Amino acid sequence: MQSLTLESATERNAGRLARLVPRLHVKAFTGGTIVAIFVLVGILGPLLAPHDPNKQQLTAMMKPPQGVGAVHALGTDNLGRDILSRVIHGSRVSLLVAFAVVFVSGFIGITLGAVSGYFGGKVDFTIQKLVEVVWAFPPLLLGITIMAFLGQGLFNLILALVSQRWIPYCRVVRGQTLSLRERDFILAARCLGAGKRQIIWRHIIPNLIQTSLVIGTFAMASSIIAEASLSFLGVGVPPEIPTWGTMLADARIYISTAWWLPLFPGLCIFVTVLGINLLGDALRDLLDPRLKRTASGI
């Protein structure tokens, strides 16, 4: 009777995983393809852009999209600048900011979370109080405040976005570290004479990479939206650097007369964020420990 129950449970798990795998493949393939395309466009931006993104041609102002192969395939803006070239160069800034924010905030959050969870006591209390204080500020308002105080610039923009985005890493990593520090392999490392720093960097943090990777994908999508929001408000990068948010800010005056000005940068933001979210969703399902246990049971 027990063997029949185990067989039926195994069959249900196998059926559940079989239904999940095609959806995982679709999300991972679609999201990965979108992200890869935008990364390649960002890297090869100067080679792909047909014009200088800041070159003004007053005789070619406000031209609508002319189609593939034309001089201005996606049209021009109110200063005669080529929309396609500005969109391509804007992808470089957006992706650069997103990757930099994810890397820096992940490094800070994972380190503080691992230290907080492993040491506990006063160290844990201090770090978590810092988390609560920083988390109390609205993210966009805090970013605007930092940019207004430091001024416009790419480094200042990254700093403003990092100011709060390390907190999700810290909170999740702390919770997992509280569990990991009581595991047998950590106790074995202590018995063999490993120091606290060695245990954190060589035994605890490597076991947190999968979860941090999932957090990083969703943080990348929110960073792109936040960068576009700050640039739209005029407190992002300097005006001479083309970004999708700056293009939307310039287009808001002409939204009723020149539909192509806000359409293409807005579409780029939408598609990029969608692709990153699909990829992050697939990674989350793939790296979920419960799904791993289901697969091992099969």
Residue 213: its pLDDT value, please? 85
pLDDT of 239-264, one tens digit each? 788 889 888 888 888 888 888 899 99
Average pLDDT over residues 57-81: 84
Query: For residue 53, is pLDDT > 50?
Result: yes
The proportion of the chain whose per-residue pLDDT surpasses 90, expressed as a percent, equals 17
CATH superfamily, domain 2-297, is MetI-like (1.10.3720.10)
Residue 24: its pLDDT value, please? 59
pLDDT band at 9 (very low <50, low <70, confident <90, very high): very low
pLDDT of 266-297, one tens digit each? 999 999 999 998 888 888 777 654 444 433 33
Q: Which of 35-49, 88-102, 160-174, 181-195 has the lowest mean pLDDT?
A: 181-195
Residue 118: its pLDDT value, please? 87
Q: What's the whole-number average pLDDT of the chain? A: 82
Query: For residue 68, is pLDDT > 60?
Result: yes
State the SS3 of the chain: CHHHHHHHHHHHHHHHHHHHHHHHHHHHHHHHHHHHHHHHHHHCHHHHCCCCCCCCCHHHCCCCCCCCCCCCCCCECCCCCEHHHHHHHHHHHHHHHHHHHHHHHHHHHHHHHHHHHHHCHHHHHHHHHHHHHHHCCCHHHHHHHHHHHHCCCHHHHHHHHHHHHCHHHHHHHHHHHHHHCCCHHHHHHHHCCCCHHHHHHHHHHHHHHHHHHHHHHHHHHHHHHHHHHHHHCCCCCCCCCCCHHHHHHHHHHHCCCCCHHHHHHHHHHHHHHHHHHHHHHHHHHHHCHHHHHHHHHC
Give the residue extent of every domain in the chain.
2-297
Residue 125: its pLDDT value, please? 92
Residue 267: its pLDDT value, please? 92
pLDDT band at 14 (very low <50, low <70, confident <90, very high): very low
Query: For residue 6, is pLDDT > 50?
Result: no
